[in-house]
Amino acid sequence: MIKKNTVGSGLLLLLIAGAVGYGIGFGLDALISGGTPKLAGAVPSAFALLFAVSAFFFGLYGYRGITRGLVWQVMGTLLGGLFVTGIRALMGMTGNKLFGAFFFSEPAWVFGALMGVISFLVGVGVMDDWMKWARGIDTPEHHEDKPGWEKYFGVSLDHKVIGIQYTVTALVLISVGGLFALIFRTELAQSGLQFLSADPTKFNVFNQTGPQFYNTLMSLHGMIMIVSILLGISGIINYVVPLLVGAQDMAFPRMNAFAFWVAVPAAVLLLMSMVLGGFDTGWTGYPPLSSRAPVGVQMFFWGVFTAGWSSILGALNVIATVLRMRAKGMTAMRMPIFVWAAIATSIIAMTATQLIGLSFQMVSFQRLFGMGFFDPAKGGNPVLFQHLFWFYSHPAVYVFVLPGLGVISELLPVFVRKPLFGYRWIAMSSLGIALVGFVVWAHHMFTSGMNEYLRVPFMYSTMLVAVPTGVKFFSWIATIWGGKISTPTPMLFVLGAIVVFLLGGVTGPPNAMVALDLHLHDTYWVVGHFHDTIFGGFVFPFFAAIYYWFPKATGRRMNEFWGKVHFWLMTPSFLMLTFGMMFIGLRGMRRRIADYDAALGFDNMHLILTICAFGIALSVLIFFINIIYSIKHGEKAEGNVWNSRSPEWQVRSPMPAHNYEVPFEVVGEPYDYGLADSKYVEFSATAGKKH
């Protein structure tokens, strides 16, 4: 017999429900299309996917928490869609086949999607307390979680649980985005279209031909990875920042839970875009291309819009927490350096994210209501979109990397047993990068046809980013210099991060030089460059942080040997991948193409790149196995594993439910390694008063 609430019963139900959902969808498709349903058509696939995912969580967890959220999202989407379909039918609107190729018409899908998101949030229970308050019912300040794994699948107000929920969701999405990359990377291994054939009789998945599906995968790879990065940094920040500043929780625990849970239906919307015709616009979604793309692009727009709420509310919470809830004695210049990075990143996320939401909303409205924001035929301007879009999307890369750079600065002193060199300069350089980052957006638009004279000031501002970034590198090197360096897995990833981020850094200025960028723009050079910055600024530090704080969360260490295998497999694969990308980019390889001219002679290099991509995938698989194994069987590590001065390591692991049972007071500098008898924090019952 299958036991209730296990992975096994989840997987079994996944298979059964997937098949049932597919059958229902196939039948519906047959009805709609008048007898010619497609095997991999949009409707059967969508139904199979929704049924299977919901059923998996039902088997794993029962009808509550995330399961209830997903079921409600499905129902909300259908009801919202039917509502609009009904109104449109009553109004006798034309162009509204009741159930078109995509089951609903576009306005019905958009309304349904938004209803689905709201239904998810109500269903999962993250609004329960607020709705009770609105009805005049009191709720307890804290909700106690039951011990065990089940709390991770429902609403918890504990920042540590939410941090882990964020991190795990990020890892799941990284796997999905990485899988997409592997698919199109495999197609690119050789010139000519192989399995992603342009012939609809040979390749037709979700009503898309090979090149169309390539474009969808490539676009979703970008956006899913971006969302997973945003969730990943929120994961680390949520788990670590309250511990570092000595708070019991985040300032607004319910909003914290809301910020996490709103990202889940957002991810569902993003994946839905794939089955609703996909979209061929890249993650940048430039109109007029995006105003002509299939319905899928609407799911993409609103998925990003919804995920933006997570980012904005999460950032607001971090800022409030750091401003109001620091331990006694923790002045600004005595905060752990990671907290500075979290603040810098949150300032950007809280104030710039609105712009990407707005720009996508405007294209969505252009499609739905005929508003001509970016349509030259109606007096609109396609280049305006690019300004709005990049006003967020450039600073966004600093949102991605600043926490990672914070992790590097936070971990280096521990493993070199020396103070962080130039603490104030590193702290200020984070703010400097964040602020300069707001005035460089148009360097993505040097070829866009914007006013020619604007290009030079943006070249100057872009080059300025090199200065605070340089301060970080020099200070890190000065920290390492003369230290007593040991290299356990987290430190390996920190060092890898420095080298890889450096590669991203030195390949940046060529793009800032306008004339040179006229050659580099939209080539694989740029693809290589930003993968370097993102791997160096996020992926490597993210892994470092997981290896480093894993014992804090679980009381066990991850396996050191397999951690090193992970590092030594991923690093060379990744370096070769981006070197190769930059090389062919300079020689004429354009971005975002499903196939390339064999005459360019890139076949061998692309084959190598594909092999490297699989090398990275294998290393990440090893990491996943290591994590899952170590949760139960890892070596016990309940004390100060890394011999750190940081407050969270002065208490036992795993961290108690309400963090510090005895509050602490800051009595020294955070990184005074090598200074005899110095302490950063002192625990005492009288330290309860907050700074």
The footprint of another protein on residues 645-664 (CB under 8 A) is none
Site string for another protein, 245-284 (x = CB under 8 A): --------------------------------x--xxx-x
Q: Which stretch binds another protein (CB under 8 A): 120-128, 149-157, 200-208, 527-535?
A: 200-208
Closest to 440 in 3D by CA, of 389, 391, 505, 403: 391
Is 673 a residue that touches another protein (CB under 8 A)? Answer: yes
Q: Can you tell me whether residue 683 is helix, strand or coil?
A: strand
Nearer to another protein, 100 or 654 (CB): 100
The site that binds another protein (CB under 8 A) totals a number of residues, namely 103
Q: Which stretch binds another protein (CB under 8 A): 151-159, 202-210, 266-274, 353-361?
A: 202-210
* Interatomic CA distance for residues 145 and 656, integer angstroms: 12
Which residues, 6+ apart, have CB-to-CB distance to 302 below 8 Å? 110, 113, 114, 117, 269, 360, 364
Token pair for 656: 């108690």
Which of residues 272, 362, 459, 581 is near another protein by CB under 8 A?
A: 459
Number of C-beta neighbours around residue 144 at 10 A: 12
* Interatomic CA distance for residues 496 and 492, integer angstroms: 6
Is 181 a residue that touches another protein (CB under 8 A)? Answer: no
Which of residues 328, 455, 552, 556 is near another protein by CB under 8 A?
A: 455
Token pair for 44: 């059967």
* Interatomic CA distance for residues 582 and 507, integer angstroms: 9
Is 598 a residue that touches another protein (CB under 8 A)? Answer: no
3-state secondary structure 292-330: HCCCHHHHHHHHHHHHHHHHHHHHHHHHHHHHHCCCECC
Q: Can you tell me whether residue 688 is helix, strand or coil?
A: helix
Which of residues 20, 189, 593, 631 is near another protein by CB under 8 A?
A: 593
Number of C-beta neighbours around residue 123 at 10 A: 25
Residue 468 · residue 436 · CB < 8 Å:
yes
Report the site for another protein in 385-424 (rule: CB under 8 A): 416-419, 421-424
Q: Which stretch binds another protein (CB under 8 A): 20-28, 58-66, 71-79, 196-204?
A: 196-204
Token pair for 233: 């940094």
Nearer to another protein, 8 or 376 (CB): 376
Q: Can you tell me whether residue 199 is helix, strand or coil?
A: coil
Residue 187 · residue 172 · CB < 8 Å:
no
Nearer to another protein, 181 or 416 (CB): 416
Token pair for 54: 């919901």
Which of residues 341, 350, 471, 539 is near another protein by CB under 8 A?
A: 471
Is 510 a residue that touches another protein (CB under 8 A)? Answer: yes
Nearer to another protein, 29 or 158 (CB): 29
Which of residues 506, 598, 628, 662 is near another protein by CB under 8 A?
A: 506
Nearer to another protein, 376 or 656 (CB): 376
Residue 232 · residue 166 · CB < 8 Å:
yes
Report the site for another protein in 134-173 (rule: CB under 8 A): none
Q: What are phi and psi for residue 109, nearest 5 degrees? A: -65, -45
Report the site for another protein in 571-590 (rule: CB under 8 A): 583, 586-588, 590
Is 185 a residue that touches another protein (CB under 8 A)? Answer: no
Site string for another protein, 483-502 (x = CB under 8 A): xxxxx-------x--xx--x
Which residues, 6+ apart, have CB-to-CB distance to 500 below 8 Å? 532, 535, 536, 540, 571, 574, 575
* Interatomic CA distance for residues 130 and 332, integer angstroms: 33
Q: Which stretch binds another protein (CB under 8 A): 77-85, 168-176, 234-242, 448-456?
A: 448-456
Q: Which stretch binds another protein (CB under 8 A): 109-117, 330-338, 628-636, 673-681?
A: 673-681
Q: Which stretch binds another protein (CB under 8 A): 48-56, 201-209, 312-320, 362-370?
A: 201-209
* Interatomic CA distance for residues 117 and 163, integer angstroms: 21
Which of residues 669, 679, 682, 691 is near another protein by CB under 8 A?
A: 669
* Interatomic CA distance for residues 532 and 504, integer angstroms: 5
Which of residues 11, 319, 466, 608 is near another protein by CB under 8 A?
A: 466
Which of residues 130, 133, 149, 460 is near another protein by CB under 8 A?
A: 460
Nearer to another protein, 154 or 505 (CB): 505
Min dist CB 296 to another protein, Å, is 11
In the chain, the N- to C-terminal Cα span, in Å, equals 56
Q: Which stretch binds another protein (CB under 8 A): 239-247, 467-475, 531-539, 545-553?
A: 467-475
Min dist CB 418 to another protein, Å, is 4
Closest to 382 in 3D by CA, of 449, 293, 468: 449
Residue with tokens 């540590």: 160
Is 509 a residue that touches another protein (CB under 8 A)? Answer: yes
Residue 425 · residue 468 · CB < 8 Å:
no
Q: Which amino acid is at 76?
A: G
Q: Which amino acid is at 213?
A: F
Is 449 a residue that touches another protein (CB under 8 A)? Answer: yes
Report the site for another protein in 24-53 (rule: CB under 8 A): 33-34, 36
Is 560 a residue that touches another protein (CB under 8 A)? Answer: no
Closest to 284 in 3D by CA, of 114, 441, 461: 441
Report the site for another protein in 103-132 (rule: CB under 8 A): none
Which of residues 11, 514, 621, 631 is near another protein by CB under 8 A?
A: 514
Cα torsion 221, 223, 224, 230: sign = positive
Min dist CB 518 to another protein, Å, is 5
Is 294 a residue that touches another protein (CB under 8 A)? Answer: yes
Min dist CB 210 to another protein, Å, is 10
Report the site for another protein in 203-242 (rule: CB under 8 A): 207-209, 211-212, 215
Min dist CB 322 to another protein, Å, is 23
Q: Could you give the angle at which helices 382-416 and 540-554 cross, rounded to 10 degrees?
A: 60
Helix H segments across 62-154? 65-90, 106-124, 128-134
Closest to 335 in 3D by CA, of 473, 432, 243: 243
Which of residues 198, 384, 575, 608 is near another protein by CB under 8 A?
A: 198
Is 343 a residue that touches another protein (CB under 8 A)? Answer: no
